[in-house]
Amino acid sequence: MQRSSTTNKDRLVTLFLLVLTVSFLSPIFIVLMNSFKGKFFISDTPFVFPTDKTYVGLDNYVAGIAKIKFFNAFGMSLFITVCSVLVIVLFTSMTAWYIIRVKTKFTKTMYYVFVSSMIVPFQMVMFTMTKVANVLHLDNPVGLVFIYLGFGAGLSVFLFAGFVKSIPIEIEEAVMIDGCNPIQSFFKVVFPILKPVAITVAILNVMWVWNDYLLPLLIIGSDYKTIPLAIQYLKGGYGSIDMGAMMAMLVLAILPIVIFYLICQKYIIEGVVAGAVKG
């Protein structure tokens, strides 16, 4: 009797997870399906499979790539994402290591400042941030990288700090006795041990920076278009939108990040659990 009850419970959980999966995947499937339809049919029959009458093959993809100069936008998004993530991983890992290893009131205050920054809504600081970026001449792709470092530091330092606590300090003391200075100790011993949480931090920030629309819009505007900004320019005058090209470009925009996430998703759970539970 108890076994039957457990089996029914497992079935209900499986059914619930299946419904949840379909709910999350259906918007992506609808976008993919409509990217192969003529733009005049998408609004009328958005939930119907392409037919002989509505199917246009790769025409939407070709038109969208030409209209928004997709490969230029792809290159800009790739540059900003890769540089931002590298800077975030490097500097926040070093910061977390310093905060945990140097026990002072200053480092303790630094830690709480980083953690508290995660609860500050972006809308509260975006106008001030835009003005400061303009005054400091950070309103360009390179400046945007350092602005992403500021906004991504809170969560990254929190995850790294939790993991650093689990690293025995005796390991670092041993290499210091062998003649390594603190910088050498960090890069030769500590950072390799931080690999699981470093990969997690990288994945989370890649998904954030790649898909971000508002921060590039405020900082670099239309001078340097990332993919989200470029897709926005498919809207014409009087609210007209080339829905076919937009659907196709949305597919191309999310495809790299979906592939990247599927490849690396196992590291997210490992790194988050390691950074949050250890120590």
Q: Do residues 114 and 153 lie in contact, with contact meaning Cβ atoms separated by under 8 Å?
A: yes
> Within this chain, do residues 255 and 132 fall inside the same structural domain, yes or no?
yes
The answer on 191 and 225 residing in a single domain is yes
What is the H or E stretch that residue 42 is in?
A: helix 39-42
Q: Say yes or no to pLDDT of 157 above 90.
A: yes
pLDDT at 106: 92
Pair 71, 65: CB distance under 8 Å: yes
* pTM reported for the whole predicted model: 0.83
* Beta-bridge mates of residue 235: 241
27 with 142, same domain? no
Does one domain contain both 75 and 138?
yes
Per-residue pLDDT reduced to its tens digit, 182-199: 888 888 888 888 888 888
- Considering only residues 69 and 267, tell me which one the structure prediction assigns the higher pLDDT: 69
In angstroms, the CA 149 to CA 86 distance is 9
Q: Kindly state whether residues 8 and 143 are assigned to the same domain.
A: no
Mark whether 28 and 70 lie in a shared domain: no
Q: What is the pLDDT of residues 169-186, one digit of tens each?
A: 888 888 888 778 888 888
Verify that 270 and 196 share a domain, yes or no: yes
Tens of pLDDT, residues 242-263: 788 888 898 999 888 888 878 8
pLDDT of residue 268: 63
Per the model's pLDDT, the better-predicted residue between 98 and 167 turns out to be 98
CB-CB contact of 121 with 127 (8 Å): no
Which has the closest alpha carbon to 211: 268, 245, 256? 256
Residue 199 lies in a domain: yes
Residues 25 and 127 in one domain: no
Are residues 149 and 273 located together in one domain of the fold?
Answer: yes
101-130 pLDDT, tens digit per residue, is 888 999 999 999 998 888 888 888 888 888
Within a 10 A sphere around the Cβ of 19, how many other Cβ atoms?
10
The total domain count for the chain is: 2
End-to-end CA distance of the chain: 42
More confident residue, 234 or 105: 105
Residue 77 pLDDT? 93
- Domain membership of residue 102 as a residue range: 59-277
Written as one string, the DSSP assignment of 198-227 is HHHHHHHHHHHHHH--HHHHHHTTTTS--H
The secondary element (H helix, E strand) that includes residue 125 is: helix 122-135
Burial label, 78 (beta-carbon count in 10 A; 0-12, 13-18, 19+): middle
Mean confidence (pLDDT) of the chain: 84
Tell me, yes or no, whether 165 and 255 share the same domain. Answer: yes
Identify which has the larger pLDDT, 6 or 58. 58
Give yes or no: residues 175 and 262 share one domain: yes
Both 211 and 142 in a single domain?
yes
Q: Is residue 53 part of a domain?
A: no
Residue for token pair 């950072």: 191
In a domain, 143, yes or no: yes
**Could you report the per-residue pLDDT of 12-59, keeping only the tens digit for each?**
888 898 998 888 888 888 888 888 888 888 877 888 888 888 888 888
